[in-house]
A and B are shown apart, each in its own frame.
Chain A
Amino acid sequence: DVKVTQSSRYLVKRTGEKVFLECVQDMDHENMFWYRQDPGLGLRLIYFSYDVKMKEKGDIPEGYSVSREKKERFSLILESASTNQTSMYLCASSLFGSGANVLTFGAGSRLTVL
Chain B
Amino acid sequence: DAKTTQPPSMDCAEGRAANLPCNHSTISGNEYVYWYRQIHSQGPQYIIHGLKNNETNEMASLIITEDRKSSTLILPHATLRDTAVYYCIVRVGNYGQNFVFGPGTRLSVLP
Contact = CB atoms under 8 A, between A and B. Distances in A.
Interface of A: 4, 31, 33, 35, 42-43, 45, 48, 50, 56, 58, 88, 90, 92, 94, 96-108, 110
Contact of A105 (B32, B45, B49, B91): B45
Interface stretch (B58-66, B69-77, B100-108): B100-108
Q: Interface of chain A, helix or strand or loop or mixed?
A: strand
Contacts of B104: 42
A90 B49 contact: no
Contact of A107 (B43, B91, B103): B43
Interface string B34-61: 1010000111111001010000000000
Given A42-B102, A100-B49, A100-B51, A31 B97 contact: yes
